[in-house]
Structure 1
Amino acid sequence: MTFSASARRALHAVLTTGSYAAAARHAGVSQPAIAQQIKALERHCGTPLFERRDGHLVPTAFCEELTGITEGIDVLEAQAARLLERRQSIQSGHLRIGLGNSMPGMALIAAFQREYPAVTLSVVLSDFANIIRGVVEGELDVGVLPNVPQDRRFVRESLIDQDVVAIVHPDDPISRFDRIDCEQLMQSPLIFRSRGSSTQAMVDAAFRQAGLEPRARLVLDTRDGVCEAVANRLGVGFMWRHGTGRTDTIHRIAVTGMGAPCPESVFRLSETQDPIVRAFFVTAKNFRRHAEVLKAG
């Protein structure tokens, strides 16, 4: 005998009401049907599930243990039903996403589109300050940034861990190093980001910690601009390690004193109830899980 949903409903109805008659009314079935389900369960279990006391059916210790488990099954079934309903309901819609880096955000977006191809996506690439402002002011549904601030207004889901690295052209003499410090970097022309960049905030902090005051050859508004400047051999730039999938003319070098790795996360306002946004967060959770499996492998 399988422990069917109807058998679980009959068991819970008797447990709740204390009689077959009341359980039948509660479940919307006949009294003989309830009694038959309980008797069949008792035969299958090989032990009574209820004892009659003062005209009421009282659960045995085994019954209480059993229903504690079956209630968990019912909760999981309800969650599965809500998940299926949500997936079926997302046949269209619009999601506005703000990215501080092309990656891993673009990979996450690709994973979401494979699951929900009918949803229209608008993507804004901007700096840290603008993405935070866009989410707070409702111009963006979700943002993807490293080092999202601890703020009770936000719900976050971590994707990967990031650290800031120096980037150079492969022909640059310092490309032979696996690690470099700020004092060594002072010997090269530097390419910085403009104010509002989380990358530049980390770079500024590292040079201050080293007691240095660098001057930039170039200050650029975008990460892509920094990458292009480096590709054209204009100097040494900085970026989050996994901020782009580009490898052709960009060589990454770890920088001593640049700070500990921090998570890059997708985040939204905590009060958001939009099912599309919530589905995006489920995709993000699966993205992180997949990344951890690949890393472990």
Structure 2
Amino acid sequence: MSVTLSRIRAINAVAAGGSYAEGARALKVSQPAVARHVKELEAEFGVRLFDRKNGILYPTPLCNELCDIAERMAEAEREARRILSRHNTLLNGRLTIGLGNSMPGMALVARFLKRHPSIEIAVETGSHEQITKAVLRREVDVAVLPDVPADGRFRQALLTRQNVVAIVHPDSALSREASVTCERLMAEPLIFRTRGSSTQRVVDRAFRAAGFEPVPFLTLDTRDAVYEAVVNGLGVGFLWRFGTGRTDVVHRVPVSDMQREYDEVVFSLADESSVLLNAFFTAVEAFRKDADTILQQ
């Protein structure tokens, strides 16, 4: 016994039109095809779906129940079309963006929305590893991360370049230094990020290259937690230079062993293409021209 979408649509069309001919006209198929759908379903389930009176087909109570289902199915189809179309239009479209750091991604989002104010933006945040996986799983449409390796699966565009700096409390003696070394930092309580953080990868590389294996005083799972720990005088943390727009309390101190700049890129899956994504990548090009001015404000 087979209940197909075509049969349910045929029943609903006949009920609305009062005849096989009107149902066929509404569905833009042949009258025999519509009649066959109805009669086969009646025969297979041993039911009566229509009563004929004065040449008009009237739905039975059972048929009306099926028509209610048909209407819900039609609404579900319309909603599916709306969801799909929102990802490929600049008018009331929707874009999901993954960010590893608040900045410079948020600055880019702000510029993009000035150009396209009707687009709905959803932002997902997480570690470098989490956001990369979200792109691969198609949970986000596009992401902004530093130090993204070359990968043929991704469409990439450079946003800016930045390095990692130490962040210290203003009462710390380090706040008065023009720059510090990894050796000098070994004397401080260090606040590290957990595995999967792009910041921590850079910090680990720098200390290893300098010949040190530091044991952190604290290991925290988010950038904001590290920032707050430094604000409360718990130690020295590390941050991408443009990793946050906050300018309160904390001092950024360059680390001579961490001067290498890494590309901060916008990337999406290479096989994804839409009007929205193309518009976002166009905004990246415009942002990059003024990135230094925007990020140092």
TM-score by length of 2: 0.67
What are the Cα deviations for residues 5-53 of structure 1, in whole angstroms up to 9, with x where unaligned?
Answer: xxxxxxxxxxxxxxxxxxxxxxxxxxxxxxxxxxxxxxxxxxxxxxxxx
**Residue 123 (structure 1) shift:** 0.5
**For residue 192 of structure 2, what is the aligned residue in structure 1?**
192
CA RMSD between the two structures: 1.6
| In structure 1, C-alpha distance between the alignment counterparts of 2:130 and 2:184, rounded to whole Å | 32
**For residue 232 of structure 2, what is the aligned residue in structure 1?**
232
Gaps of 5+ in 1: 1-87
Q: Counterpart of 1:282 in structure 2: which amino acid?
A: T
Query: Which moved further from structure 2: 90-99 or 250-259?
Result: 250-259
What are the Cα deviations for residues 68-112 of structure 1, in whole angstroms up to 9, with x where unaligned?
Answer: xxxxxxxxxxxxxxxxxxxx9511121111111111100100111
Contact 1:206/1:259 (CA < 8 Å) preserved in 2? no
**For residue 147 of structure 2, what is the aligned residue in structure 1?**
147
Secondary structure, aligned partner of 2:258: coil
Q: 1:112 to 1:220 in 2, by over 3 A?
A: same
**For residue 253 of structure 1, what is the aligned residue in structure 2?**
253
**For residue 67 of structure 2, what is the aligned residue in structure 1?**
none
**What pairs with 1:16-55 in structure 2 (closer than 5 Å)?**
none
**For residue 72 of structure 1, what is the aligned residue in structure 2?**
none
**For residue 183 of structure 2, what is the aligned residue in structure 1?**
183
| In structure 1, C-alpha distance between the alignment counterparts of 2:220 and 2:100, rounded to whole Å | 15
Is 2:281 the partner of 1:291?
A: no
**What pairs with 1:42-81 in structure 2 (closer than 5 Å)?**
none
| In structure 1, C-alpha distance between the alignment counterparts of 2:244 and 2:267, rounded to whole Å | 20
**What pairs with 1:197-208 in structure 2 (closer than 5 Å)?**
197-208=197-208
Q: Counterpart of 1:194 in structure 2: which amino acid?
A: T
Q: 1:149 to 1:252 in 2, by over 3 A?
A: same
| In structure 2, C-alpha distance between the alignment counterparts of 1:213 and 1:292, rounded to whole Å | 34
The alignment of Structure 1 onto Structure 2 pairs a total of residues equal to 208
**What pairs with 1:128-167 in structure 2 (closer than 5 Å)?**
128-167=128-167
**For residue 222 of structure 2, what is the aligned residue in structure 1?**
222
Contact 2:206/2:258 (CA < 8 Å) preserved in 1? yes
**Residue 132 (structure 1) shift:** 0.8
Contact 2:101/2:244 (CA < 8 Å) preserved in 1? yes
Q: Counterpart of 2:133 in structure 1: which amino acid?
A: R
| In structure 2, C-alpha distance between the alignment counterparts of 1:89 and 1:274, rounded to whole Å | 8
TM-score by length of 1: 0.67
**For residue 112 of structure 2, what is the aligned residue in structure 1?**
112
Q: Counterpart of 1:150 in structure 2: which amino acid?
A: A
**For residue 273 of structure 2, what is the aligned residue in structure 1?**
273
| In structure 2, C-alpha distance between the alignment counterparts of 1:89 and 1:154, rounded to whole Å | 22
Contact 1:101/1:125 (CA < 8 Å) preserved in 2? yes
Q: Counterpart of 1:234 in structure 2: which amino acid?
A: L
Secondary structure, aligned partner of 1:111: helix
| In structure 2, C-alpha distance between the alignment counterparts of 1:293 and 1:183, rounded to whole Å | 33
| In structure 2, C-alpha distance between the alignment counterparts of 1:278 and 1:94, rounded to whole Å | 13
| In structure 1, C-alpha distance between the alignment counterparts of 2:256 and 2:293, rounded to whole Å | 29
**Residue 290 (structure 1) shift:** 2.2
| In structure 1, C-alpha distance between the alignment counterparts of 2:288 and 2:89, rounded to whole Å | 25
**Residue 291 (structure 1) shift:** 2.4
Contact 1:202/1:259 (CA < 8 Å) preserved in 2? no
What are the Cα deviations for residues 258-289 of structure 1, in whole angstroms up to 9, with x where unaligned?
Answer: 25101111111111112111111111110001
Q: Counterpart of 2:286 in structure 1: which amino acid?
A: N
**Residue 141 (structure 1) shift:** 0.5
**What pairs with 1:9-20 in structure 2 (closer than 5 Å)?**
none
Q: Counterpart of 1:100 in structure 2: which amino acid?
A: G
| In structure 2, C-alpha distance between the alignment counterparts of 1:271 and 1:294, rounded to whole Å | 31
**Residue 235 (structure 1) shift:** 0.3
| In structure 2, C-alpha distance between the alignment counterparts of 1:176 and 1:164, rounded to whole Å | 18
Secondary structure, aligned partner of 2:229: helix
